[in-house]
Structure 1
Amino acid sequence: MVASPQLIESIRLLQLARAELHQFVEQELEKNPLLEPASNDGEALGDVPISADQSTGAREKDMDRPTSAAATERPGEWKSLRNTTNPPADNRPALDEFAACTETLHDHVAGQIALTAFTPQDRLIAGELADHLEETGYLRVDLVELAGKLNARETDVERVLATLQQFDPPGIFARTLSECLEIQLRQRDRFDPAMAALVANLEMVARRDFQALKQHCCVDEEDLLEMLHEIRALDPKPGNRFQSGAPESIIPDVWVTPSPGGGWQIELDPDALPKVLINQTYFAEISRHAVQNPKDQAFLNECLQNANWLIRSLDQRAKTILKVATEIVRQQDAFFQHGVAHLRPLNLRTIAEAINVHESTVSRVTSNKYMLTPRGVFELKYFFTVAIASCQGGDAHSAEAVRHRIKAIIAQESPGDVLSDDEIAVRLKETGINVARRTVTKYREAMNIPSSVGRRREKRLWLIGDQD
């Protein structure tokens, strides 16, 4: 099959995020004299609108019918949108309820300093060192000059710095890349003599001089490759994970609210739909003059064709997003009712087959689109997770639900009972989740949760802070 340029553009429209879509429509409005934006109420300036959201409005009437055979087989378990009137505004969850304050690196460090058992002088030194912390997490200050400025001994400044270098994220307050890697390796209990020699010769790593590295580290090739793999897994700029500026606002494309009759009510945010229309009065006026000039007539016809295409494409985009979102809510009904622990394994094919579209269409629709729910704002792709087998032969668990379980288990640890990844895997098996230790490690690190060694150290600091 050969795709026409307009078909390619229609496919691209599905993938555009909200801001990109509005920018694209603005460009079309500038190029096409027949197009004009609709007013806020969807009406043209004196004309009958042919707008992209005319047939969908804020929702789609087709959603009154089941979107798949499964919906008809389980009546009562799922109720789609039953009424086309706008719900009361106060039924919608407020975006402000889910807006998280952006924590900067300096905020994160200041919180840890407050919980550390410093003497008044040490706390003053720690605050001064924190003031010289760069956004990347590195410390750029001369300790001798700082000691003189604070009228403190250099050994005291170095001692406080050594404590700060144990803070989260691992590697902060380092003065060089080597020191940054050393801090992270020490917290992983992996800074043995061989690794120390490797970190001390990073220039050889950059040159890929493996023969010289094997001699300096006194290891064979297999051990050296494992060590290099560990080095690459470290974070050379640990402070970069924190945002330094104001966060970008996420405006949801889809709203999910409890339906008065049970189930869920799904609608598109009307502001997410660019409203465009064809100015029929202007088209009729210039058509009378264009018939005398073939070139003008051809241009006018092309403009009309492009305008109709844009309106149809925007309308189809809105309908497709709504269908995909509705099927996601139907599939993940337990999540919306009970939380992340009940998130089901879900893939693109399941949604595509349920609403009779291609899998690639679902992939495009779920890219850079967000859903506002009573449980928070989620990217549509959040609801697609792989399956983790059950020990007892029951339903599989989603990877996101397993991550949630791991986080919950770690949150319940006491300072005297910090669990290793192996012990966490055993706990999960006891609840019916068959997961390997390496998977626990992967999920834990993806959530930026320290190892058992790091967590034990943090809990001790918390205890000292409470006693203080």
Structure 2
Amino acid sequence: MLVPGLIQRQSQSLVMTPQLRQAIALLQYTQTDLAQHLRQICETNPLLILEPGDTVPEATPASEDFHDDDPDRFTTAPARPEAATPPLSDRDELILQIRLSILPADQNAAFHLLDSLDESGRLPVSVTDLAAELDVDASHLEEIRQTLMHLEPVGLFARSFEECLAAQLRVRNRLDPAMQTLLDNLDLLARRDWRRLRQKCALEQDDLLDMLAEIQALDPRPGLSLSSPAPPIEPDLIVRPNGTGFRLTLNTRLLPKLRLDDTMRAHLDNHTEAGKALLAYATEATALIRALDSRKHSLLTVGRTIVQHQAAFLRDGPTALRPLTMREIAERTELHESTVNRIVNSKYIDTPQGTVPLKLFFSTALTSEGGTSQSAHAIQHRLQALVAAEGDNVLSDDALTALLQKEGFSIQRRTIAKYREGLGIAKSSQRKRLRRTS
């Protein structure tokens, strides 16, 4: 028989103090958002003074040098770091994506397609006519167009309104047979013939309404953003060649500096109501300054580790990307994986290869028979090269798998299919049909 009594238990839990919550929140801010957040705080805290930011190294190193032959040796940069590049327009961002996603031999054709877009972002000229102008194979130009159509903003380079919407749905993994049927019958949608639409899509009314809501959320004219002013994107980090290595700089050009107002601090006093209020402001201000220093240190630490690992990318471009996960960065920096995720999310780095998101450097590893690993991004570029060079001998997914396995990669057909779809490359049967019709 159980006898009621008292039982003591000991447990541990992480208490989220206001200071800890603030430090975590600061990690997630972009340069622009953080600057705005600091201005808002300074409007309510009389002890804080804002000063213009810049990229000059401070007492806490904002810039570090490292070399390939000695990747663990860092020193504070003795000179003023190079300034960040100005913010890119949406068109410049698209040009950067084309340079990163399209093989060099195909980039002239890709830029010709870009120059041929109308104001809505669609391609008013047939691919066959453009291919004749460029003196290139029409089916190969169509493959380039398919890849371009899935860059940001998705839906550019489409030949029709329906194709524009289909591309956006495809990247969201929502282009199922019912949705494709809906796109094939947009004339019924325009006439509001709901009964026939439900019949053709074989859907109940609620399901059809859900699909219509998804259609309404798409951008029918993605090209408009190319002519509108781009929101400023300020890189958080800048990396530049420096002798035989690289220099990594924390960009604080837009980020104002904070300091305590010494005059106001002289009035801190526990014995008056005004003095007690200032003490509370002083506590808030000190915690904010510490959180900013922590953010700076964490961003430099993570950025340094990423750049060390991806030094080949800085020299040779996307095909030299190495596999990397956030868990690996967390282990090397002794930070929590969730902290690493917050640091790299929505952050940009200005590199010799252009200004790119930090998340670009993370991809899964594919292991070769010799035990070496290669980035999934690098494999995707190799896949693009094989398709680009296939000529009249169109390669099936099985053939592409066999070729890559022959090159030493332990890759399966389903992975090839996933990468091909992600790159916007049509199936072999579709590519064959395109070549026949062209």
**CA distance in structure 2 between the aligned counterparts of 1:282 and 1:77, rounded to whole angstroms:** 48
Q: 1:14 aligns with which of 27, 39, 42?
A: 27
Post-superposition CA distance 1:89-147 (Å, at most 9, x none): 48x777669933576674441354652789xxxxxxxxxxxxxxxx998xxxxxxxxxx
What is the total number of aligned residue pairs between the two structures? 356
Post-superposition CA distance 1:244-292 (Å, at most 9, x none): 32343422111111112x11110111215331111112322x44xx565
Equivalent pair of 1:421/1:440 in contact (CA under 8 Å) = yes
**CA distance in structure 2 between the aligned counterparts of 1:236 and 1:343, rounded to whole angstroms:** 38
Q: 1:304 aligns with which of 282, 290, 299?
A: 282
Report the equivalent of 2:150: none
Please give the secondary structure, in 2, of the residue aligned with 1:271.
coil
Report the equivalent of 2:374: 397
**CA distance in structure 2 between the aligned counterparts of 1:427 and 1:183, rounded to whole angstroms:** 38
Please give the secondary structure, in 2, of the residue aligned with 1:408.
helix
Report the alpha carbon displacement of residue 340 of structure 1 after superposing the two structures with TM. Answer: 2.2
**CA distance in structure 2 between the aligned counterparts of 1:417 and 1:184, rounded to whole angstroms:** 32
**CA distance in structure 2 between the aligned counterparts of 1:208 and 1:41, rounded to whole angstroms:** 54
Q: Which structure 2 residues correspond to residues 26-105 of structure 1 after superposition, within 5 A?
A: 26-40=39-53, 54-56=58-60, 58-59=62-63, 76=69, 78=71, 81-87=74-80, 89=82, 99-101=92-94
Report the equivalent of 2:401: 425
Report the alpha carbon displacement of residue 81 of structure 1 after superposing the two structures with TM. Answer: 4.5
**CA distance in structure 2 between the aligned counterparts of 1:183 and 1:360, rounded to whole angstroms:** 40
The one-letter code of the counterpart of 1:279 is D
**CA distance in structure 2 between the aligned counterparts of 1:312 and 1:59, rounded to whole angstroms:** 19
Report the equivalent of 1:202: 201
Q: TM-score, normalised by structure 2?
A: 0.68
Report the equivalent of 1:317: 295
**CA distance in structure 2 between the aligned counterparts of 1:334 and 1:42, rounded to whole angstroms:** 25
Report the equivalent of 2:238: 255
Equivalent pair of 1:165/1:171 in contact (CA under 8 Å) = no
Please give the secondary structure, in 2, of the residue aligned with 1:264.
strand
**CA distance in structure 2 between the aligned counterparts of 1:164 and 1:460, rounded to whole angstroms:** 19
Equivalent pair of 2:348/2:355 in contact (CA under 8 Å) = yes
Report the alpha carbon displacement of residue 450 of structure 1 after superposing the two structures with TM. Answer: 2.3
Q: Which structure 2 residues correspond to residues 24-423 of structure 1 after superposition, within 5 A?
A: 24-40=37-53, 54-56=58-60, 58-59=62-63, 76=69, 78=71, 81-87=74-80, 89=82, 99-101=92-94, 106-112=120-126, 114-115=129-130, 181=180, 201-204=200-203, 206=205, 242-245=222-225, 246=228, 247-260=230-243, 262-284=244-266, 286-287=267-268, 293=272, 295-390=273-368, 392-414=369-391, 416-423=392-399
Unaligned 5+ segments in structure 2 are 1-13, 96-113, 134-152, 168-175, 185-195
Please give the secondary structure, in 2, of the residue aligned with 1:406.
helix
Please give the secondary structure, in 1, of the residue aligned with 2:71.
coil
Report the alpha carbon displacement of residue 404 of structure 1 after superposing the two structures with TM. Answer: 1.5
Report the alpha carbon displacement of residue 55 of structure 1 after superposing the two structures with TM. Answer: 3.4
- 26-35 vs 435-444, which moves further: 435-444
Equivalent pair of 1:181/1:236 in contact (CA under 8 Å) = no
Q: Percent identity?
A: 30
**CA distance in structure 1 between the aligned counterparts of 2:24 and 2:382, rounded to whole angstroms:** 38
**CA distance in structure 2 between the aligned counterparts of 1:236 and 1:427, rounded to whole angstroms:** 42
**CA distance in structure 2 between the aligned counterparts of 1:164 and 1:42, rounded to whole angstroms:** 45
Report the alpha carbon displacement of residue 369 of structure 1 after superposing the two structures with TM. Answer: 0.8
> Would you tell me which structure has more strand in proportion to its own residues?
2
Unaligned 5+ segments in structure 1 are 44-52, 65-70, 119-134, 138-162, 186-196, 210-230
- The alignment's C-alpha RMSD in Å is 4.2
Report the CA distance shift for 1:328/1:407 in structure 2 as closer, same or farther (over 3 A).
same
**CA distance in structure 1 between the aligned counterparts of 2:405 and 2:204, rounded to whole angstroms:** 41
Equivalent pair of 1:389/1:397 in contact (CA under 8 Å) = yes
Report the alpha carbon displacement of residue 364 of structure 1 after superposing the two structures with TM. Answer: 1.2
Report the alpha carbon displacement of residue 239 of structure 1 after superposing the two structures with TM. Answer: 6.2
Report the alpha carbon displacement of residue 452 of structure 1 after superposing the two structures with TM. Answer: 2.6
**CA distance in structure 2 between the aligned counterparts of 1:178 and 1:356, rounded to whole angstroms:** 47
Post-superposition CA distance 1:270-321 (Å, at most 9, x none): 215331111112322x44xx5652x212110011111111111111101110
Report the alpha carbon displacement of residue 366 of structure 1 after superposing the two structures with TM. Answer: 0.9
Report the CA distance shift for 1:170/1:18 in structure 2 as closer, same or farther (over 3 A).
closer
Report the alpha carbon displacement of residue 324 of structure 1 after superposing the two structures with TM. Answer: 0.4
**CA distance in structure 1 between the aligned counterparts of 2:161 and 2:394, rounded to whole angstroms:** 18
Equivalent pair of 1:385/1:399 in contact (CA under 8 Å) = yes
Point out the structure with max Rg over C-alpha. Answer: 1
Please give the secondary structure, in 1, of the residue aligned with 2:379.
helix
Please give the secondary structure, in 2, of the residue aligned with 1:109.
coil
Report the alpha carbon displacement of residue 348 of structure 1 after superposing the two structures with TM. Answer: 1.7
Equivalent pair of 1:81/1:266 in contact (CA under 8 Å) = no
Report the CA distance shift for 1:19/1:112 in structure 2 as closer, same or farther (over 3 A).
farther
The one-letter code of the counterpart of 2:388 is A
Post-superposition CA distance 1:17-60 (Å, at most 9, x none): 222212221121111011111145699xxxxxxxxx84336326
